Amino acid sequence: MDKFLIRGPCKIKGEVFISGSKNAALPILASTLLFDKPVTINNLPRVRDIDTMLKLLKSLGSKIQLSKNKKSVKITKSKNQKVFASYSLVKTMRAGILVLGPLIAKHHMSITSLPGGCLIGARPVNYHLNALKKLGMEYKIKKGYIHANSKGKLKGTKIKFSNVSVGATENSIIASCLAKGTTILKNCAVEPEIKDLTNFLISAGAKIKWIGKRTVQIEGVKSLNSVNYSVMSDRIETGTFCVAACLTRGNIIIKNFDPKIIQTELNLLRKIGAKIKTYDNKIYINGPNKIKSLNNIVTKEYPNFPTDLQAQFMVLLCKAKGRSIITESIFENRFMHVAELRRLGAKITVKENKAIIEGDTNFQGAELMSSDLRASAALVLAAIVANGKSIINRIYHLDRGYEKIEKKLRKIGVNIKRIS
């Protein structure tokens, strides 16, 4: 199993080119199951979750042609379409459940494994199932699989989500594209990745309209057209590199990303003392000499502060002057990195869903263990500013969501090595 060896402290300087968004690409790839005609998707990130999704699509009968650099894929429907999404492919990735909606919409039946992914909380699939049931899907859960079918086409209806759920919003939008009549979804998640999914589907002829802040209207169509589409760039990768610059008093230019998408995060970094200039597709960021503490960051649905950057910001606040507090309101099990940060010398107390961080930490290198994707990124950041050598185990979590992170870090001055 691969691990990272990092020697700190490092100072960061240079340019970073942001890869395509994993969280935007996955639902877009899943939605290609709706198409009869070929689809080309560009700006794919080269990460493990994308490989898994492509394998899953292939197992369902899609023909997959990757470009030489594996950043573009052409997906063509074969005559031999299947409806069985196996546990062996879905177990490592939460997004596996996103094939359920298009399979039911297109083939009126599916046997889909309950999903896996990071161990950061319950993340139940009942929001997906309840919404699809309202569209006309019937299902039973047997031996870890969702056995689902519909009597012919799904039928448009009104659905109000009891909780804002990214995955359930995506699954319902995808399924509604081929449903009969009009579907109105209320209390939707409105993450930029969801807007990217709807932009993709609209470009293929889907009739989708946002008619309120969290309300979307979908008129079903008979079929979707061939399309060539570029996935948006990754906002969590961008945020992670912004934090890296601030941690190390660094000075970096971030390219291939629209800064308007992460205003909340950039404003918080300005509060801690960073100097930031933004342009159409670039961010210039200068880390502060002294990092200021933040009284209470609360993770919430977009456009608020994202849970996927909570761990990275926690590392930053360990180096701040004074006490900071982070409240995690999305997942109940998302402070698993705290124990590992303490091994480096962090002073963090967890009370229910609050982490109280005493600043001025002088991190000392140590051997560490990754627990999930974003926690792994936090450990890398902490090791970059720690004194001495750190080893980070189980970095396959990082490979699920960050493209060639060690190459990008090395290029801007981090002493990092992958050991197989």
Q: Residues of 115-131 as b/e, b for ≥16 C-beta within 10 angstroms?
A: bebbebeebebebbbeb
Structure tokens at 112: 């889909």
User: Residue 278: left (phi > 0), alpha (psi -120 to 50), or beta?
Assistant: beta
Name the nearest CA neighbour of 400 among 368, 374, 367: 374
Whether 118 is a known active-site residue: answer yes
Quickly count: other Cβ atoms within 10 Å of residue 162's Cβ.
Answer: 10
Specify the amino acid at residue 131.
A
What distance in Å separates the CA atoms of residue 328 and residue 324, rounded to the nearest whole number?
13
Of 118, 177, 246, 318, which is the active-site residue? Answer: 118
Contact (Cβ atoms closer than 8 angstroms) between residue 154 and residue 133 = no
Contact (Cβ atoms closer than 8 angstroms) between residue 156 and residue 181 = yes
Q: Is 50 helix (H, G, I), strand (E, B) or coil?
A: helix
Q: What are the DSSP E strand ranges found in 294-362?
A: 297-299, 323-328, 347-351, 354-358
Largest CA-CA distance found in the chain, in angstroms, rounded: 64
Question: Measured on CA atoms in the order 278, 294, 7, 369, is the torsion positive or negative?
Answer: negative
Please report, to the nearest 10 degrees, the dihedral formed by the alpha carbons of residues 395, 400, 406, 411 taken in order: -170
Residue with tokens 């002829």: 205
Catalytic positions are: 118
